Structure 1
Amino acid sequence: MVTIPEYYEGKHVLITGATGFMGKVLLEKLLRSCPGVRAAYVLVRPKAGQAPDARVADMINCRLFDKLREEQPNFAEKIVAVNSDLTQPDMDLSKEDQETLTSCINIVFHCAATIRFNEPLKDAMQLNVLATQKMVRLAQRIKHLEVFIHVSTAYANCDRELIEEVVYQPPVDYRKLIDTLEWMDDKLVSLMTPKLLGERPNTYTYTKALAEYLVQQECGNLNVAIVRPSIVGASWKEPFPGWIDNFNGPSGIFIAAGKGILRTMRASNNAVADLVPVDVVINTTLAAAWYSGSQKHSRPRSMMVYNCTTGGINPFHWGEVEYHVISTFKRNPLEQAFRRPNVNLTTNHLINQYWIAVSHKAPAFLYDLFLRMSGREPSEYVWYLEIRVFDAMMVLEYFTSHSWVWNTDNVTMLMNQMSTEDKKVFNFDIRQLNWAEYMENYCMGTKKYVLNEELSGLPAARKHLNKLRNIRYTFNTVLVVLIWRIFIARSQMARNIWYFVVSLCFKFLSYFRASSTMRY
C-alpha cells in the first residue's frame, strides 16, 4: 500500500465544516503533512456580512496555521472557498460550482454539524440529517470520488452500554420523521421531542444516529467510512500542544473552574472522562480515508466505522480531570479570577443543587448587592457567566455521570495497516498519551489561545490569587466569630460543649507532644 502522503498526492479534497474547530484542524493537517495534495475545496456560507473568501482568509490567519505558514508560505493558494449553505436547496451551490465539484473531487470529508446539544429538533434535523442527505446525493454525482468520510459522534448510540463499530438502526424511520416535521408546527414538535429521544439525552445524539443510518441506507455504491470521536478536546501534539480556540464542551467548564466561577458539578469521580485530543481524531480521519480509498478495488464488504475514543484503552476519570484542572490553575492562575479554583463533584442531585445555591447564586447575588451599596451598577456579566456555566453543566452532566464500553477493533486494525513513518506523522495511538501532561497543556491552552492571556502576566495573577486566599481566610474568621457571638456565647449548654471540645483537643495535643518527647 502507498503511504498516506502518497495517497493524497494530486488529490482534490472537499471539506464541509472547515471553519469549525475540527474542520480547520483537518485542513491544516492535510495541507501540512500531505503537501502533494492538489486542492482543498471548502464549503463556506456568508456570515455577518463576510463573503466565504474573507471568512477563509480570517481563519487561516489564526495561530493554528503558523507552523504551516512557515513550512509552506503559499499554502493558501490550494484552498478554494466555495459559497454554500447546507440548509438551502441544492446547498445553495451555483451550477458552475456543482460542475466543478462533480468533475474534480476525489475525497469528501463531511464534518459540518450543529454542536449545540439542545438545538430544537427541527433545526438539528436540518443541520445534521438533511444536510448529510444532500452531501450524500452530491457525492453520488461526483465522477471520480474515491471515498466519502462522515464524521459522527461516539455518543450517537449512547442509549447502549456497549457500543460496537457498526451502524445501529434507530427507533424511528428518518424518512417518516422528515416528512412529519415538514407540516408539524414548532410547539407540537417540542411536545413530542422527549418521546422521540427516548433514553438519549439530547437532539444532537439523536440526529447524529439518524444521520449515520441515512448514510448507510443511501450511500449506494459509494465507498464510505464513519469516524466517531467522543469528547473532542485540545490538541495533544499538533500543530503544538494544547491548542484550542473555543469555549465549547469541557473547555468552557475548565475556564469557569480556573476563574473560580464553577464550584460544583454533577459528575461521578469514577466515571470515565472520554476526552480525545483533536489531533488524534484528525489523524484517524485522514488515515481512514487513506485506507478505504487505497483499498477501493478490494474494498471491505461492509462500511467501516471507527470509534475514536480513549476510555477502553487509556482510561481517565472525571475525578482525575478535576484534580489536574484545579492543580494546574492554582500553579498557573487565570487573570482576574473571581475566586480561588475549587470544584466539588457529586452525583447527588440535592447536594448539587445546594452547592449551586451556596457557591454560585449566593456569591453572584452578594457581589451585585455590594456593587449597588457602593453606588455602582450591578454586574450583568457575573450573572451571564453563572447562567452560561449552569447551562454547560446541565448539558454535560449526562456524559460526566455515565461510562460506556467501546469496541475499537477497527481503529487498532487501521493503525496496524500503517507504515512506521505514517504512525509517527499521523499518530493516533492514545496508549502513548500521558494524561497529566496533556491536561496541563490543555489548561494552559485555554489561557493562551482562548483567553489570550500572556504568560508574562502569571506573577500578577498569582498575587491576585493569594489576595483572594487571604480574603477567604478573613471572611471565614469573621464568620466563626459571628457564630460564636450569636449562638454559642448566649447559650450555657453550647459553651459547655465548646469548652469540652477545646479541652479534648488540648489533651490530645498534650498527649501527642509527651509521646514525641518520650520517643526521642
Structure 2
Amino acid sequence: MQQNLLFSDVMQYYRQLRVPSIPNKKCKKDVPEDYRRYITHDKLCAGYLKNGSSVCNGDSGGGLVFKFSNRFFIAGVVSLSPLANTAGGGCNSHQYGVYTVVYNYDHFILRNMVRFKPAIGDDSMCESCTTVTPPPTTIEETGSTADPTKPTEPTKSTERPQDGCILPEHPNSGRWSVLGNSAPEFSPGKFVAKDTILVVQCNEKHKLDGLEYLVCRSGSWSAKVGKCLKTCSSLQNTLTTKVVCVFNIKETDHCNDPVDGTIAKFTCAPFYEEKGINLAPLLCVDGTWSRPPPKCVPVCGQKSIPSTALIVKGDTTNKGEFPWQVAIYQRRGLEPNQLICGGTLISERIILTAAHCVTDYEGKVLSKSNYTLAVGKYYRSYSDPRDTPQAQFSEVKNIFVPVQYKGMVQNYFEDIAIMVSKRIFQFSQTVQPVCVDWTKTYLDDFLKSDTKGLGHISGWGFTEENQKPSDELRSIRLPLISRQNCLSQLGEDFEIYLTFDKLCAGYRNGTSVCKGDAGGGLVFKHANNRFYIFGILSLAPSSDMGGCDTHQYALYTDVKYYVDSFLMQLRRPESTQSDFLKDTILDQSLSQGKAELRRKVGVLSGDCCLPNLGLNPGDHKMLQDEATCIIHISASVRFDEELRIATYTNVRSVQSILEIAKGAKNLKVLSYVSTAYSNCIEQREVEEKFYDPPMTVGQLFKILDAMDDEMLNTKLSQILGKWPNTYTFTKAIAENVIREEGQNLPIGIIRPGIRSVNDPEPGWTDFFQGMEMICMGVYTGVCHCLPVRREAPVSLVPLDYAVNHILSVSWDIGRNRKPLEESIYNFVGSKTNKISGGEFVDIGIRNCEMWPSSLSVWKPFVISTVDERLLKIYQDLFHNIPAHVVDFVLLRLGKKPR
C-alpha cells in the first residue's frame, strides 16, 4: 500500500490501513470523471488524496471496519480503486478507494446467515466468542442450601453460595421464571441455590429453540438458555401436496409453528404437478416464508395410452386412453342407471357437459338426484364388473346451466353445463382431467379451420346408423369446418342452430358422432403434448330414418365463451373470501382487527359476464332482502378487451344491478362507478351531466347477436366510431342505461380519473397503460423521446383518494337524495393542484438516480418535443443508432443481441 503500486509489488505480510470516510458528493467532485460512474448509490468512498496510502490490487473484498463501544463493526467491503496512469499500471494510491456499503445488503446477509448458521450451542457463534466481560457489579446472593421442594428465596448473604448458579439474561422475545416463585427479586446477574429450576417461555409467534426447563447443577445450568425464534405460519399436508420441514438437519413430516431458518420441502401427490413447475424449498426468514407455498394442481390433458379408434364404423379405444371421459347416468323408468350423455372432467369435482343433457326441452334444470357420475369407466354398463377397481362413482351436488339457456326454444344457444360431484375423484392412470385454456392463449393454434390439426372426441354412442350403441368407449378424430362452409352444407332447417357460440366439425363421409355421444368434449393436442378442451358436443342433424346423419357435420358449443364462468364455479366462496382477507393491500390497511373483519365480510359467487351476475336464486333474494348500500365498481378496464366481453361486464352487469336494486326492500343508496374518460370525445372538459351515448343498449345487443367475434373484430372501428376503445365505449352506454332505467332509485354516478401514484404494493397495477407505460419506459432507459409538451397537465388521482371519494359520495347520495341529473360526481386532478408532464418525468428521473433498476438497459433521460421532425431525429440518435451499435458489439463478442 505505497505510492503507485505495480501489479507485481505484492506485500508478503498482513498489513492494515486506517482511512477516513468521505462524503459521496465530495468524492464525486474529487475523483476523475471516468471513475465517477462507479460511485453508485450502494457505494461509499474512504481514503486520502495524494498521500500515497490506499487499498490496491489484492485488497478487494476486505472489510472496512469501525470501532464502537470496544467492538469492531463492518461498514464496507473493498470494491475498487482507480488505476495509476503509469506504464506499469497498478493502483493510483493518490485517490480514494470505493467500498460497497454493507447495510444496503443487510437483508441479503441476514437471509444467508439464517440459512447457513451453525447449530444452536456451537461455540463458533458470535455470542460465545466475542462476549465482553462485564464490569464488576454488586449483586445479591441466595442462601447456600435449598430444599428443591420449597420456593427459592433471595438472601443478603455476603458470600457466594457453594454450588449455586448465576441467573442468565432473559432470551430476546421471551423470558425465564423461577419454578414455584415469581418474586421480582430474581433478575439476571443474581445468584440462586443449587437445584433451582428455571422455566423458559417465549412471546407469542415465537418458539423456543432449546430446553424449556433448566436446572442449577454444581455451579452451572444444565444447558444454555435457548433462543426464542420467530415462527412462520404452519404448513399442513393436503390431498395433493406433502410437506417436510428441516431444521438443524432434523427432518419432520409436519410443519407446526416452524421457526426462523426452517426449510420446507414440497412434493406433489401422484397425478398432480406444481403450478409453474417450481417446487423449490421455502425458507422461514424473520417470521415470513420466502415465498408462497407451491400449489399442486392436477396433471391435465395427458393420455396414458396412444389413440387408435373411431366412434361410428371404427374400433374401440384402449383403457385409459381418454382419462377425462365421464359417463353420465340417469334414472329413467324401471332402469335405474341409463347412460344418456358423456362429459369431460376438468378438476377433481367439475364436469363439463351439454345443457340439454341435464334439462327439459324448455331449459329447466332437472333434479340432480336423478343423475350419477362415473369416471375411469371403459364399458358402457353402469355396473360392468370389468371396470373394477378403476371406476369411481358419485352423486351430483350441483348443476349449473347458463341463465339464458332455453333449450330448443332458443335454438340450443349456450348449450353447456357444469356438474359438480359430491365425491372428490381420486386421480389415477385412468382418471385425469383435461386441460382448459383459461387464458385463451392457444385459440389461434387450435380454432382455425385451415389448420391441419384434428380434434378428438370420445363416447359410447351408436356404432352404426340406426343400430345399438357401443359397449366400449370409442373415439373419432375430426377437423374443424369454417363457419361459411358449414352454413353452405347444413340443411335449412338445421342452420338456425349454428349460433355464434357454436363450432362446426366433422366429415360428410359416414364417420361421425352419434346419439349417446352428446356432452362429450372436443379436445385438441397442443405442441406441449397435452390435450385441451375447446368444444362440447351439442347436436347433429338427424337422418330421414330418424337416426344420426353421419354424412353431415356436428355442432359443438365453443368453450372459450364460458371459461370465466368455469372459474367462478371452481373458486368456491370460502376460498374467494380467504384470498380477499389475505390480500397484501388489505394487510397493510387493516392489519389490526382482521378477526373482526372476517366476521363481517361475506363473499357470494358471481360473474359479471353472466346474466343476473351469475348469482344463484338464493343469493339474489338475500341481496334484495338485506342490502342497504350497493356500490357497483366491477368492470373490465382492458382497453383492448373484446367487445362482447366488455359489453357483458360493463353494460349487462349494470342492468343486473338495477334489477336487484329495484327489488331491494331496504336500499338507501346505489353508487355506480364509471370513469372520467367515458365522454372525453370532442369536448376538452367533462361537466357533471349526462352526455349522449354512442348508441342505445338495444342497438348494441342487436349487433352482438348478429355478428360472431371474428366479424366484430373486423368491424370494431366502425362500431366504436369516435370512442377510442371498448372500455370507454361500453362505459358511456352504461351511464345511459342508468339514465333511462334508474330514475326512481337513490342512485348516483361517480367518475374518477384513477392513476396510481404510490402503488399499495410493487407491481400492483395490472396493466401498463397511460402514464404507467411511460414510467416503465423511462425507468428502464428504453424511452428517451416523448412527443409531449412539458407544460401539458397530467391527470393523476391517487388511488386511495378515489376510494375515499367513492365512500363519501355514497354517504351523500344516501343522506341527501337528489334528482339523478344532480347526482353525477367527477373526481379528477384539479387546476390548482396540477402536475405537468415535464414535472412527472423529472420526478421519475430523480427516482431512477436514487434507486437504479437492474432492468435498465441505458442511462435514464428524456427529451420532449411536439415537433415530428425533431422527434424522428431524436429517436434515431437516442434509440435506433445506439441499439444497433450495442447489438453489433455484442455480436462481435459472440453474445446474443439485446
Does the pair score TM above 0.5?
Answer: yes
Q: 1:70 aligns to what SS in structure 2?
A: coil
Instruction: Indicate conservation of the 8 Å contact 2:585/2:761, yes or no.
Output: no
Which residue is equivalent to 2:804?
Answer: 283
Aligned equivalent of 1:157: 679
AA partner of residue 182 (structure 1): D
Shift of 1:168: 0.8
2:851 maps to 332
How far has the Cα of 1:70 moved from its partner? 3.3
* Pairing of 1:53-68 with structure 2 (within 5 A): 53-68=574-589
Deviation at 1:318, TM superposition (A): 0.8
What does residue 207 of structure 1 align with? 730
User: Which SS does the other structure have where 1:157 is aligned?
Assistant: coil
Partner AA of 1:347 in structure 2: V
Equivalent residue, structure 1, for 2:837: 318
Q: How many Å separate the matches in 2 of 1:55 and 1:271?
A: 43
Instruction: Give the Cα separation in 2 of the matches to 1:181 and 1:258.
Output: 41
- 5 Å-filtered alignment, 1:374-389, equals 374-375=893-894
Paired residue type of 1:156: S
Gaps of 5+ in 1: 1-42, 380-520
Q: Do the aligned partners of 1:45 and 1:85 also contact (CA within 8 Å) in 2?
A: no
Q: CA deviation at 1:303?
A: 4.6
Pick aligned residue for 1:259 from 767, 780, 783: 780
CA contact (8 A) 1:82 1:97 kept: yes
Aligned to 2:622: 100
Distance 2:581 2:598 in 1: 8
**1:70 pairs with one of 591, 608, 613:** 591
Q: Choose from 123, 126, 131 the match for 2:645.
A: 123
Q: Structure 2 vs 1, CA of residues 52 and 312 (structure 1 numbering), >3 Å: closer, same or farther?
A: farther
CA distance in 1, matches of 2:849, 2:796: 22
Q: State whether structure 2 residue 140 is matched by structure 1 residue 140.
A: no
CA contact (8 A) 2:628 2:667 kept: yes
| 1:304 to 1:335, Cα distance in 2 relative to 1, 3 A | same
Quote the residue 2:757 is aligned against.
234
Q: How does 1:78-477 map to 2 (within 5 A)?
A: 78-159=600-681, 160-235=683-758, 244-249=764-769, 250-296=771-817, 299-300=818-819, 302-349=821-868, 351-352=870-871, 355-356=874-875, 359-360=878-879, 374-375=893-894
Q: Summarize deviations over 1:466-517 as a string: whole Å, max 9, x none.
A: xxxxxxxxxxxxxxxxxxxxxxxxxxxxxxxxxxxxxxxxxxxxxxxxxxxx
Give CA deviations for 1:370-397 in whole Å, capped at 9, x if unaligned. 5555555566xxxxxxxxxxxxxxxxxx
Q: How many residues align?
A: 332
CA contact (8 A) 2:694 2:733 kept: no
Per-residue CA shift, 1:331-384, capped at 9, x if unaligned? 2323342211112233344544555565445655665665555555566xxxxx
Say which SS state the counterpart of residue 167 (structure 1) adopts.
coil
More strand by share: 2
Q: Aligned AA for 1:178?
A: F
Question: What displacement does 1:310 show?
Answer: 1.2
Distance 2:866 2:804 in 1: 35
Tell me the percent identity. Answer: 27
| Distance in 1 (alpha carbons) for counterparts of 2:719 and 2:701 | 13
Q: 1:124: how far off?
A: 2.2
Distance of 2:653 and 2:571 partners within structure 1: 22
Distance verdict in 2 for CA 1:70–1:171, change over 3 Å: closer
Give 3-state SS (helix, strand or coil) of 1:65's partner. Answer: helix
| Conservation of the 8 A alpha-carbon contact between 1:234 and 1:243 | no
Query: In 1, distance between residues paired with 2:610 and 2:767?
Result: 28
Q: Is the 8 A contact 1:267 1:346 kept in 2?
A: yes
Distance 2:758 2:694 in 1: 35
Deviation at 1:329, TM superposition (A): 1.5
Q: Relative to 1, partners in 2 of residues 1:181 and 1:245: Cα closer, same or farther, differing over 3 Å? A: closer
Q: Which amino acid aligns with 1:162?
A: E
Q: CA RMSD in A?
A: 3.1
Indicate conservation of the 8 Å contact 1:272/1:311, yes or no: no
Deviations 1:430-462 (A, max 9, x none): xxxxxxxxxxxxxxxxxxxxxxxxxxxxxxxxx
| Greater helix proportion | 1
CA distance in 2, matches of 1:266, 1:80: 48
For 1:70, give the aligned amino acid. S
**Structure 2 portions without partners, runs of 5+:** 1-563
| CA shift digits 1:118-140 (9 cap, x unpaired) | 32333322221122222222222
Secondary structure at the counterpart of residue 582 of structure 2: coil
In the TM superposition, residue 255 of structure 1 has moved relative to its aligned partner by 2.8
Secondary structure at the counterpart of residue 690 of structure 2: coil
Give the distance between the partners of 1:72 and 1:282, measured in 2 at CA: 20
> Would the aligned equivalents of 2:611 and 2:652 in 1 still touch at CA under 8 Å?
no
Runs of 4+ with >6 A deviation: 240-243
Counterpart Cα distance in 1 of 2:754 and 2:883: 30
**CA-to-aligned-CA distance 1:23-59 (integer Å, 9 cap, x gap):** xxxxxxxxxxxxxxxxxxxx99837964454344334
Inter-CA distance 221–365: structure 2 relative to 1 (3 Å threshold): farther
Q: In the superposition, relative to structure 1, how do residues 185 and 241 fare at CA in structure 2: closer, same or farther (>3 Å)?
A: closer
Aligned equivalents of 1:222 and 1:73: distance in 2? 34
Contact 1:44 1:83 in 2 (8 A): no
Distance 1:311 1:172, change over 3 A: same
Aligned-partner Cα distance in 1 for 2:626–2:566: 21
